Amino acid sequence: MLIFLMATTGTTFTELFTVLPLACAIFVLLFGLFVFTKNVRSRIHQLMFGFCLSMFMWMLGTFFLFGFRHANPESAIFWDRFVYAGVVFMPSLMHHFSLIFSKQKGQKKLLIFNYLLSFFFLFISRTTLFVDDLYIYQWGAHTQARLFHHIFLGYFFIGTGIFFVNLFKYFRGLTNKQSRTQTLYVFLSFAIVIFIGGTAYLYGYGIDTKFPFAYFSGFIFPILLFYAVSRHHLLGSKVLGTEVLVSSAVFVLLIEVFLSESLLAIIARIIFALLVASIGVLLIQSVKREVAKSKELSQLADSLEQANIRLKELDRQKTEFLSIVSHQLRTPLSIIKGYIELIEDGAFGKITKKTKQTLTKMDESNERLVKLIDEFLDITRIEQGRTKYSFDQCSMNDLIDSVVKELKDRAENKRLSIVWKRSKNTDKVYMDEEKIRHVVFNFVDNAIKYSPKGKINISLETQKGFVVVRVKDKGFGFGKKDEANFFQKFYRGENVRGTNVNGTGLGIYVCRKFIEKHDGKVWGISPGSGKGSEFGFQLPIKRNSKASIMVIDEVTGKAIEDAK
């Protein structure tokens, strides 16, 4: 870069290094201002700006020191003392920054003492007891260190060393990857300023480093922090990185304006700088909009997550309530059933035919309540993870036979016929017989309940390693909305509203849960309202298990005992 500038502008090596501190001063000040304006009330932003201001005074004073070193040595000494007006506060500002950044509560007295020393050296640096005389070398100059400068130098490296110790301790306790990366960049950025920038002190002792390492730290420090801000969101900013990048590009273009040799070149570079600045403003506005949208979506996601947690808690409480109520209701219903049977058997005396009919209706109503409570208990066991599954090779034909036999009379009472033919190709299926029987029973029972006439067809077949059971009826049927929601908890189809058919919407929800635990699939389809429906399920014929009979815990999904 230096060779390119010298070749294109004719600038000498000495003149270029004279301008270097000024460029660094402007660059670091711009970075500090950007940080500060992003959050004026933030202490950590204030301290970062304060440190950048200290570096600005160092670099600006050095620029004038270099400029006056030959023409006016007294002015050069004044400007070198101006340098220390910023440098003396670096240890205390860094110490303070490390406490805020690492969220440490202690070291208050030490911090106060650090600031007091900074003010002490601020006043003493105005005198000849701190620096005096001028050491001029090939491309610059520096005042010569005196007694209190030696003391200050010890304070400078001890005071800034506290910063590095605090950050190192903070870094060791971090577990978050992004926080560790941010801390590492802060540590490295300040280390470059202190240990590379600190080589400027050597000139105060008559040592020429032959190259201005110290002043390049004024570029490296903000560039590293800029990368940490833009890439790793240091200081909590997502837009700052874009703003600094645009400003840096404009800054470089303006420096080229000052190095121009002709009026035409100056005008062209100014126009180009304004164009880049305009595009940069549009880019910054675009990034701000994206950040605002991202923040809004993040807040919405957090709100939804909190609402979801509350809903889950309400659902858990409702499940516990159902469990408690169901268990409490089951006992008196069992007692009622027992007394009805005793009365029917004549244990309390002879009963009339009319009384027996009444008792039969009472028993039927009691059975409906028992069935409803059993559904509630099934729900609570499923949702609390207390349902156990016992798998074995069972006959699907025999299972459907038993369901048809049990429900045949009920169907005939409604003048319905159940059409079922055993399958010759499919029989043994690895399943929990009790759970699958519950599913088949529920589907056939619903077909009877919701079919005013016609036939109920039950089929069993094999398809690509799965056994498929279908229950078809000529009943109420349903629309697409019902089809999408039937297997949800407490959902009842619009097709049964206004009818005298009772239900809770729990039966097929339980069926779905049972089938899913068998790695199967359940469905309900209909060509439309009044056109009948089909409810069915498919199960894998074989499961990956060595045991012929296995009990599965619903919570873990693992075998908890072997029956054979």
Residue 88 has a CB neighbour count (10 Å cut-off) of 25
Percent with pLDDT over 70 in the chain:
76
Write the CA distances from 546 to 442, 500, 560, 562, 564, integer angstroms.
31, 49, 14, 10, 11
How far apart CA 237 and CA 230 sit, in angstroms, is 8
Among 81-85, 264-268, 316-320, 423-427, which range has the highest average pLDDT? 81-85
- For the cut 90, the answer to whether the pLDDT of residue 85 exceeds it is yes
- pLDDT at 230 (0 to 100): 56
Phi, psi angle pair for 474, to nearest 5°: -110, 35
Whether residue 546 is predicted with pLDDT greater than 50 in this model: the reply is: no
Give how many domains the chain has, as a whole number: 2
Q: Output the six-digit token pair for 10.
A: 């004719």
Residues 341, 347, 348, 354, CA torsion sign? positive
Which one of 212, 238, 264 terminates a domain? Answer: 238
458-483 average pLDDT score: 86
The candidate with the shortest Cα–Cα distance to 135, out of 68, 196, 69, is: 69
Tokens (6 digits) for 269: 């570079």
* Any domain includes 146: yes
Residue 490 lies in a domain: yes
Choice among 62-66, 129-133, 483-487 with the minimum mean pLDDT = 483-487
In a domain, 226, yes or no: yes
Residue 538 near residue 406 (C-beta atoms within 8 A):
no
pLDDT category of residue 147 using cuts at 50, 70 and 90: very high
Q: How many contiguous H segments (helices) and E segments (strands) does the chain have? A: 16, 11
Q: Is residue 262, in this structure, part of any structural domain at all? A: no
Question: Which pLDDT score is estimated for 274?
Answer: 73
Single pTM value for the model: 0.48
- The answer to whether the beta carbons of residues 187 and 164 sit under 8 Å apart is yes
Assigned domain for 355 exists:
no
Distance between CA atoms of 360 and 351, rounded to whole angstroms? 12
pLDDT band at 116 (very low <50, low <70, confident <90, very high): very high
Checking if the pLDDT of 142 tops 60, the result is: yes
Other beta carbons less than 10 A from residue 279's beta carbon: 12
Which range is least confidently modeled, 158-172, 241-255, 307-321? 241-255
**Gyration radius (Cα) of the chain, Å:** 42
Query: pLDDT-based confidence at 386, cuts 50/70/90?
Result: low
What's the rounded mean pLDDT across residues 498-514? 72
Full domain range(s) for residue 532: 388-562
Task: Determine, yes or no, domain membership for 64.
Answer: yes
Higher-pLDDT residue of 334 and 201 is 201
Give the CATH number, domain containing residue 513: 3.30.565.10
Strand order in the sheet with 428-431: 428-431, 388-395, 550-553, 559-562
209's tokens:
């480093």
Last residue within a domain, chosen from 238, 257, 275: 238
Sheet with 417-420, strands from edge to edge, namely 417-420, 455-463, 466-473, 533-540, 521-525
**Does any domain span residue 249?**
no
* DSSP H helices in 384-432: 396-413
Output phi, psi for 237, to 5 deg.
-110, 135
Is residue 103 scored above 80 in pLDDT?
A: yes
Q: Final residue of a domain: which of 211, 238, 265?
A: 238
Distance between CA atoms of residues 92 and 86, nearest Å: 11
Q: Would 246 be classed as within a structural domain?
A: no
pLDDT given for residue 175 in this prediction = 87
